[in-house]
Amino acid sequence: MPDALRKTVSATEAPALLGVSPYLTKWMLYRRFHDRGDIDPPEDARMTWGKRLEPLIMEQAAHDLKMEIIRNDDGTGKQAYHRRGVLGCSRDAIVICPDRGPGTLETKCVFEYGTWMRDWGGGTHAPKHYEIQLQQQCYVGDGEGTDPYRWGVIAAWVAGEVHYFERHPIRELWAGLEAAAKNFLDDVAHDREPDPFGAPIEIPLLSRLERRQEIADLTDRADLADAARVLDGASASKSAIEKMQTDAKARLLAAAGQADELLLPDGIRVKIKQQSRGAYEVKPTTFVTVKAYVPESAK
């Protein structure tokens, strides 16, 4: 979980600084720290089941590893947050090895074999963002003024089986994470906002930007003209183009900034309208419609 005080970059946030997080970009992280806003998506069923399965995975890990496992608890039932310099973490548990001392334990749930084969190589490796998360937990140890942990393990639950990935310190990565976090926090302190990446995961946050009656002249951006053509549905079938349109929408919103209209090459224009959805049936949200106008001569 993030640092409630926003004094450190957490282990779940750090992969975004290195550009390998599937859930967060550096621009989104900047917005969280600088604007002190909530950018986390609402909890879904998988997140809920992951939390429910967590203590069972720990129990199985204690049995399989034949070691003592101490759940990370701040005394109120919530995970304790630990800080060391500019980095922090709220690990799932500490695992005690008689020979190596304490290590960090991180539990993960994989609900689809497709994900297991694609992202975990069928058990040959863990995803990069989880590796970085575990390494940062080892670096932080129990907090300021303590020694880092000398080892850690990822316990991945996959369709009723638990697979283990034991890891040891990568000190070069620790140094890189510390340097990246220092630079990031300095950027936040001095209002140096990075550009949005233009990824689909940024769309909810991009949609919240206040729109101004302003035309952004990007007639030198042929790549955005291509994105507008995709959004206009000028090629491929609807089923084939759905993901491409989402990607195109993200790129166009990122390029627009707070402008409500884009002027692109070949006479292409993109208009952005911010709208709100009431809270009668769903949680109130802000979203945008992005409509591309592509002349026949430009298709």
CA 202 to chain centre: 10
pLDDT at 226: 85
User: Residue 287 in contact with residue 275, Cβ under 8 Å?
Assistant: yes
Question: What predicted TM-score, i.e. pTM, was given to this entire model?
Answer: 0.80
Domain 9-189 has CATH 3.90.320.10: yes
Identify the burial level of 249 via C-beta atoms within 10 angstroms of its C-beta, where 0-12 means exposed, 13-18 middle and 19 or more buried. Answer: buried
Classify residue 112 by its DSSP letter. -
pLDDT at 38: 79
Amino acid letter, 29: L
Among candidates 33, 39, 15, which has minimal Cα distance to 209? 39
Question: Given pLDDT bands bounded at 50, 70 and 90, which one contains residue 13?
Answer: very high
Strand order of the β-sheet with 101-110 is 68-71, 93-97, 101-110, 152-158, 161-167
Q: Can you tell me the mean pLDDT for 102-130?
A: 95
What DSSP string describes 52-93?
A: HHHHHHHHHHHHHHTSEEEE---SSSSPPPEEETTEEE--SE
pLDDT at 146: 74
Tell me the range of 35-49, 109-123, 225-239 where mean pLDDT is highest.
Answer: 109-123
Domain ranges of the chain: 9-189, 201-298
Tell me the range of 163-177, 189-203, 279-293 where mean pLDDT is highest.
Answer: 163-177
Cα–Cα distance measured from residue 51 to residue 92, given in angstroms and rounded to the nearest whole number: 10
Question: Given pLDDT bands bounded at 50, 70 and 90, which one contains residue 278?
Answer: low
What residue spans of the chain are helical by DSSP H? 14-17, 26-35, 45-65, 113-119, 128-140, 171-189, 203-207, 222-231, 238-256
> N- to C-terminal Cα distance for the chain?
46
Dihedral sign for Cα atoms in the order 258, 263, 265, 266: positive
User: Residue 94 in contact with residue 66, Cβ under 8 Å?
Assistant: no
**DSSP-derived 3-state class of residue 133:** helix
Cα–Cα distance measured from residue 109 to residue 51, given in angstroms and rounded to the nearest whole number: 9
**DSSP-derived 3-state class of residue 21:** coil
pLDDT at 292: 82
pLDDT at 285: 65
pLDDT at 240: 56
User: Residue 255 in contact with residue 221, Cβ under 8 Å?
Assistant: yes
Cα–Cα distance measured from residue 99 to residue 261, given in angstroms and rounded to the nearest whole number: 63
Q: Is residue 137 predicted with pLDDT exceeding 60?
A: yes
Q: Is residue 280 predicted with pLDDT exceeding 60?
A: no
